[in-house]
Amino acid sequence: PVASFEAFAPVNIALCKYWGKRNAALNLPVNDSLSVSLGNKGSTTRVAFLSDAQADEVYLNGSAVNRDSGFYKKVVAHIDLFRGLVPGCLRVDTVNDVATGAGLASSASGFAALTKALSGLYGLGLGDEQLSVLARLGSGSACRSVYDGFVRWHKGVRADGMDSFAKPLPESWPELRVGVLTLTGEEKKTGSREGMQRTVDSALLYGSWPEQAERDIARLEHAIVQRDFTLLGATAEQNAMAMHATMLASWPPLLYWQPESVVALQKVWQLREEGVPVYATMDAGPNVKLLFEANSTDDLAQVFPEMDIIVPFL
Ligand code: DP6
């Protein structure tokens, strides 16, 4: 072991979503999912041994995290996975490049960065698949943030989840852009953990979701190999809309959209009618993410001047 260790992991945006668990304690998903990591946007986490401390200290963007918070408890539970090796408390410092709760999954990059940092601190030298399994235990989508580029999370079939981890795809797409529209930075009321459980438990429509995801993953992999942007964008948008339909079909209904989300989606659909190839995706929050290629940047910047443009393949 070393005294401290720092690691970075990127945020990822799912083009085929993870929604629904077959095992909630282990974050084992019902379906495979496929994402793209957002280059140098993500979390940087430093972990260090504390001498003579009674509890772990967790800092997020420079501020101490309250020990009663759910976030603190999740971080401590993650450290506990490793602590048997060298007992003692740690200080964890995470800095996110993206607003927490703004619809970019900072928990995914955060748990992936924490897992890499802990592997380094305890001198484990874990391979990527082992890091992905461990990151998954912190937050399901974190298993994809272990890698850059396009990533597929294989759901696995084992009850212990040891075959449920992500692997990178070899293809890159330098022209691909992700535009983030931060419509509201408000923290969501229902987190994805609770939201997906409610959907699985109460939405009959969820019965069609595994088939939707399976079809969409196949289309996305084909689109990535063929560099077919229309197929990539259309598949990602339909997949996101289908996921949100299952949420709305839950009881009580789950609607992450705000009026601003609908306005943004309508602008995207209008732009497509005008011949601009742009597609949208949304996660468990009100913000809309745009998918486009570099040569559409000027058209989009006119309609969405506040958009944050991210280059996934640097
Ligand atoms: C809508 O990974 O945050 O963003 O495993 O309970 O921590 P937990 O859930 P989380 O869910 C992400 C859901 C999503 C879709 C996706 O990223 O695939």
ipTM of the complex: 0.99
Mutate to test the pocket of ligand 1, among 18, 30, 151 (most ligand atoms within 8 A of CB): 18
pLDDT given at position 189: 82
pLDDT given at position 103: 57
Give percent of the chain with pLDDT exceeding 70.
96
Burial class of 139 by CB neighbour count within 10 A (0 to 12, 13 to 18, 19+): buried
132-145: average pLDDT: 98
> What CA–CA distance (Å, rounded) separates 84 from 29?
27
CB of 283 closer than 6 angstroms to any ligand 1 atom: yes
- Tokens encoding 116: 């890499």
**Is residue 102 scored above 70 in pLDDT?**
no
> What CA–CA distance (Å, rounded) separates 143 from 152?
10
CB of 107 closer than 6 angstroms to any ligand 1 atom: yes
- The residues, ordered by sequence, that sit 6+ positions from 284 with a Cβ below 8 Å of its Cβ are 188, 190, 191, 192, 195, 256
Give the residue, by CA position, lying nearest to ligand 1 atom 3: 192
> What CA–CA distance (Å, rounded) separates 70 from 61?
17
pLDDT given at position 184: 76
68-90: average pLDDT: 94
pLDDT given at position 183: 84
Element (H, E) at 28: strand 28-29
> What CA–CA distance (Å, rounded) separates 96 from 134?
20
198-222: average pLDDT: 98
184-201: average pLDDT: 87
CA neighbor of 164 nearest in space, from 12, 74, 32, 36: 32
DSSP 29-44: ESS-EEEEEEEEEEEE
Q: Which atom of ligand 1 is nearest to the CA of 18?
A: 18
- Tokens encoding 251: 């009881």
CB of 132 closer than 6 angstroms to any ligand 1 atom: no
pLDDT given at position 98: 75
User: Each residue of 241-276: pLDDT tens digit?
Assistant: 999 999 999 999 999 999 999 999 999 999 999 999
**Is residue 195 scored above 70 in pLDDT?**
yes
* Omega cis (within 30) before 252: yes
